Amino acid sequence: MRVSLKDVALRAGVSIKTVSNVVNNYQHVTPAMRARVQQAIDELGYRPNMTARHLRKGRTGIIALALPELGNPYFAELAAAVIDAAAEHDYIVLLDHTGGRREQELLVSQGFRARVIDGLILSPLELQTEDLEGRTEPVPLVLLGERHYDLPYDHIAIDNVAAARAAVRHLLDLGRREVAFLGSRPRRNQPAELRVRGWREELAAAGLPADEGLVGATDGWGHEDGARAMARLLDAGRRPDAVFAYNDLVAIGAMRVLSERGLRVPEDVAVAGFDDVVEGRYGAVTLTSVSPDKAAIARMAVESVLSRLGGEPRPGGRPGGEPGGEQQPPRRLTAGFSLIERESTLGRASTPGR
């Protein structure tokens, strides 16, 4: 039989309202009363009925998260972080896989499943500004990723140019001078373009030319794409002494080809990736990688959605507007990153990031 607020109130010898105040973490409850009610909750094994709580507020308690590639470890890890962040606010997450297709991203953004969700977090690849200009759905939308939209929606990203520069600077500090970039499939304000730009800027800052012959274009950003791009460079007679890859999957594919061609990582070619996925930490040669703060991205995204619903904390701890009231202007929020140095650039003797 389900334990109710009334049962807890009787056990603690307090009113149902007091129990409700404790369960909802209202601040005006005294520490002694809070401890008394919490003891009764623990003894009875009371669990709040979150569905009923959300319904009383006119909500479903569900946030949708639409991602382009659930098979990509970065997005899988980001999804887990969003689920954890949402759970802290008693929300559950509904996952959508768009495949990076414009039609699917458009369907999701224009209200698909709008009746069953309170908000949408979307990481688009192909969606255009005009696709969102006429959006009329009242469900709050928060955008992830590096594609810029001059639209009234919160947008969360990392500084890809700065992150790319940090990776290239690390390679240059090791004495490497022929640094290739693998994974170029540039579009306006897409991560590939921003990361190539960071590669060019850091080389220029070091007084080195950006050799466009060392930019390896790819059709996608998986292992096979990195392997093909690396093979094409080597087959063309180019042998860089370092590689900065668009992401870890491209880097791992490139490392496979280097090994097959008899080249050692990092002795002959140092390799750095991007995303810091688990796979890169446990290979035969662990991978140096730019590590976006996925937990911060997830937390900002969830809090942005909830702030648009009203009465929930905004990122940074400021209260959001109430539904129907004055709304805060859209924000572009930037999450941090770090460069995790491992064996693919430092060698086996020094692996501080493992």
Domain residue ranges in the chain: 60-157+293-334, 160-292+338-346
Tokens of 48: 């709040």
Superfamily holding 160-292+338-346: Response regulator (3.40.50.2300)
CA distance 286 to 88: 33
Say what the pLDDT of residue 199 is.
Answer: 97
φ, ψ of residue 227 in degrees (nearest 5): -65, -45
Cα dihedral 18/320/318/116 (nearest 10): 70
In tens, the pLDDT along 86-123 reads 988 889 999 999 998 999 998 888 876 667 899 999 99
Q: In angstroms, how far is CA 134 from the centroid of its own chain? A: 26
Read off the DSSP letter of residue 188. T
Is the pLDDT score of 222 beyond 60? yes
In tens, the pLDDT along 33-76 reads 889 988 988 888 877 665 555 545 556 789 999 999 888 999 99
**Angle at alpha carbon of residue 137, lines to 108 and 75, rounded to 5°:** 30
Which of 218, 165, 226, 221 lies closest to 195, judged by CA?
Answer: 165
**Contacting residues for 150 by C-beta, under 8 A, at least 6 apart:** 129
Residue the block writes with tokens 């929300």 = 91
Domains 60-157+293-334 and 160-292+338-346 share a fold: yes
In tens, the pLDDT along 2-29 reads 777 788 889 899 888 888 788 767 767 8
Is the pLDDT score of 311 beyond 70? no
The CATH fold assigned to 60-157+293-334 is: Rossmann fold (3.40.50)
Per-residue pLDDT band at 319 (split at 50, 70, 90)? very low
